[in-house]
Amino acid sequence: MKDGEIISNVRLQGDYFVVKFYAPAISRSARAGQFVHVRIDRGLDRILRRPFSIHDTAPDGTVTVVYKVVGHGTRTLSTLPAGATCDLLGPLGVGFRDVPEEVVPVLVGGGYGAAATYLLTKQLPQRGVFLLGARSAGDVLLTDAYRAANYDVRVATNDGSMGRRGLVTDLLDGVFDEYAGRKLFFYGCGPHPMLMALARILRKRGAAGELSIDHLMCCGVGACFACVVKVKSDTPEGWSYARACTDGPVFDLDDVYVE
Amino acid sequence: MADLTTDLGKLVLKNPVMTASGTFGYGVEYNQYYEISRLGAVVVKGIRMEPSPGNPTPRVAEVTGGMLNAIGLQGPGVEKFLHDDHYMPFLKKSGATVIVNIWGKTQAEYGEVAARLDAESEGIAALEINISCPNVKAGGVAFGTDLKLAAEVVSLVRRSTKLPLITKLSPNVSHIGDFARAVVDAGSDMVSLINTITGMAIDIETRRPRLANRTGGFSGPAVKPIAVRMVYEVAQAVRVPVIGMGGIMNGDDAIEFLLAGASAVAVGTANFVDPYAPLGVIDGINAYLDRHGCASVKEIVGGLRID
């Protein structure tokens, strides 16, 4: 097998796909929250790489990515058959940190952000809570995988078609109540407005955690300064720009600048 | 293997392949992929006196055959650049030939940053004066599209340093040869071109510009014919070395620039596509020279045949 070879690339549901690459070096060292930067086709029409959170790795040298078809790159990727190869860089970026065994990990996902926290179920020996927010039942992903890892899984959908009607952040009160007296650590990944809402609530509660802030990326290695996000800083504005690709994508909750 | 040694007046490079400022960070980012001292030179991202936050996001947009960027010269400022491990101290250790791209919001600031770098010039091979960034409100291209201002900035920098000076020209002018002559007359030892071409892209669903800055610099393989034409014009206009860039993805692209009259080339957007791109360009130049029986890369500079 060649490095970057696609082992399988199948529809998960709706516009969501799961692709498995053979990439032993990346598979060996990847940690939850890190990403691969994929050159999907070698033509000069669309030249930029696309970043994807690493969903899973396996001892057979594979790296799994869950993606939604949203534009040119992901549409092209969804057409590639097993046996095709992509050029992968990775694992890139700062991943999620481990917490001591007595701490309960609470993973908070929005949409396919759910994929980025899955490796934590393998990385951490303790079980935890997985909260997922999605638009509709058709956007609820990976709950079976988290259940199989013995996580306490709770779902909210905007239209109420699965789980509680509302936002993923509406599930937080219940967790704080039921796990009162336990030390919690939050891991968040999802759309920007969701992460900002999550940050506000966690701050108010004095909770600790990390957020994976996904952003429009270009080089992926820290050189171009395209993917910057605002982090707290002692500048007159109170913030400065940090690179999502190398300073993140995972940032400590305390460093995230909430507007 | 041909001799790739490249002679840019006072500046001698081991090969003609440099990196384009703004596409290679400060060198350290790519050193994890290969030893950056293998390049002819590393041109770092623009440095001014003060730290700069850069533009709001989104800062890039992919377009057919390339990309738009409006990063806005985010940078650490000259003091941090000179002394923080991540920047100049790393570059000195790397053994790379380092060219520092400089800019300012005022003419005076160009002179100040040049003087500051001149005072601690150990490890710096040359300065590249950026009068062509299209994405900053003050400085940058404001100086590069006015003949008088361009000459004044270069002349001030010339008086502030003994380092070899490269002036990076903007393609957003009607007669780029005039700008090349003006900056050379003002004391620039050589010129580099092209910086990005001002462009725009619109999201038709939201009806908003795809860049927060509304416009940005267009780069990538699609701009190469414009860049080659401008390098050809500039090589006709001045007698100093010309550094050519604009859409170079491989060795064959680089050869076009050398034939048009460039003595060296820079790889820019291709770094984002493939971190190893500049090494591929060096290999491609070598292969071409071998195929054409050339003993030295100098043999093909300006080698365009016109009947």
Residues of A within 8 A of B55 (CB-CB) are: none
Backbone angles phi, psi at B245, to 5 degrees: -155, 160
Torsion over CA: B173, B175, B176, B180 (sign): negative
By CA distance, what is A220's nearest residue in B?
A: B272
* C-alpha angle B62-B65-B71 in degrees, rounded to nearest 5: 40
Backbone angles phi, psi at B125, to 5 degrees: -90, -30
Contact A47 B22 (CB under 8 A): no
What's the rounded Cα separation, in Å, for the pair B140 and A223? 20
CB proximity B273 to A under 8 Å: yes
Question: What is the tally of structural domains in chain A?
Answer: 2
A4-14: per-residue pLDDT in tens? 999 999 999 99
Residues A145, A233 within the same domain: yes
Min Cα separation A17/chain B (Å): 23
Residues A34, A75 within the same domain: yes
| Catalytically annotated residue among B13, B71, B131, B133 | B133
Best probe of the B interface among A89, A241, A247, by most B CBs < 10 A, is A241
CB proximity B25 to A under 8 Å: yes
Torsion over CA: A49, A54, A56, A58 (sign): positive
Let me know if residue A97 belongs to a domain: no
What's the rounded Cα separation, in Å, for the pair B103 and B35? 27
Residues A137, A212 within the same domain: yes
Least confident segment among A66-70, A139-143, A206-210, B136-140: B136-140
CB proximity A230 to B under 8 Å: no
Residues A84, A108 within the same domain: no
Q: A170: closest CA among A126, A223, A131?
A: A131
Min Cα separation A37/chain B (Å): 10
Q: Residue A17: which CATH number?
A: 2.40.30.10
B250-278: per-residue pLDDT in tens? 999 999 999 999 999 999 999 999 999 99
CB proximity B261 to A under 8 Å: no
Given A92, A119, A136, the domain boundary residue is A92
**pLDDT beyond 70 at B36:** yes
Average pLDDT over residues A209-222: 93
Let me know if residue A99 belongs to a domain: no
Let me know if residue A87 belongs to a domain: yes
The chain-wide mean pLDDT, for chain A, equals 96
B37-52: per-residue pLDDT in tens? 999 999 999 999 999 9
- Nearest by CB: A218 against B60, B249, B275: B60
Residues A235, A160 within the same domain: yes
Residues of B within 8 A of A223 (CB-CB) are: 23-25, 29-30, 271-272
Tokens of A188: 């968040």
Min Cα separation A154/chain B (Å): 33
B303 CB-near residues (< 8 Å, 6+ apart): B258, B259
- Band (B137; pLDDT cuts 50, 70, 90): low
Let me know if residue A259 belongs to a domain: no
B174-213: per-residue pLDDT in tens? 999 999 999 999 999 999 999 999 999 999 999 999 999 9
Residues A57, A153 within the same domain: no
Identify the bridge partners of residue B263 per DSSP, sorted by sequence position.
none
What's the rounded Cα separation, in Å, for the pair B120 and B82? 8
Residues A69, A197 within the same domain: no
What's the rounded Cα separation, in Å, for the pair A106 and A108? 6
- Band (A1; pLDDT cuts 50, 70, 90): confident
Residues A68, A140 within the same domain: no
Let me know if residue A199 belongs to a domain: yes
Given A60, A92, A124, the domain boundary residue is A92
CB proximity A10 to B under 8 Å: no
Range of the domain at A185: 104-252
What does the pLDDT read at residue B138?
A: 66
Residues of B within 8 A of A49 (CB-CB) are: 272-273
Backbone angles phi, psi at B212, to 5 degrees: -60, -30
Residues A142, A216 within the same domain: yes
The chain-wide mean pLDDT, for chain B, equals 96
Contact A237 B53 (CB under 8 A): yes
What does the pLDDT read at residue A42?
A: 86
Residues of B within 8 A of A47 (CB-CB) are: 62, 65-67, 220-221, 269, 272-273
Residues A179, A84 within the same domain: no
On the 0-12 / 13-18 / 19+ scale of CB atoms within 10 A, B53 is: middle
- Band (A182; pLDDT cuts 50, 70, 90): very high
Q: Which helix (H) or strand (E) holds A110?
A: strand A104-110
Residues of A within 8 A of B269 (CB-CB) are: 47
Active site annotation includes B294? no
pTM for the structure as a whole: 0.95
CB proximity A223 to B under 8 Å: yes
Residues of B within 8 A of A232 (CB-CB) are: none
Residues A82, A42 within the same domain: yes
Contact B74 A215 (CB under 8 A): no
A86-141: per-residue pLDDT in tens? 999 999 999 999 999 999 999 999 999 999 999 999 999 999 999 999 999 999 99
Let me know if residue A223 belongs to a domain: yes
**pLDDT beyond 70 at B236:** yes
Q: Residue A147: which CATH number?
A: 3.40.50.80
What does the pLDDT read at residue A259?
A: 81
Let me know if residue A216 belongs to a domain: yes
CB proximity B71 to A under 8 Å: yes
Min Cα separation B226/chain A (Å): 17
What does the pLDDT read at residue B132?
A: 82
In chain B, % of residues over pLDDT 90: 94
What's the rounded Cα separation, in Å, for the pair A251 and A229? 10
Contact A225 B74 (CB under 8 A): yes
B162 CB-near residues (< 8 Å, 6+ apart): B118
Residues A65, A149 within the same domain: no
CB proximity B221 to A under 8 Å: yes
Min Cα separation B181/chain A (Å): 31
**pLDDT beyond 90 at B143:** no
CATH number of B6-300: 3.20.20.70
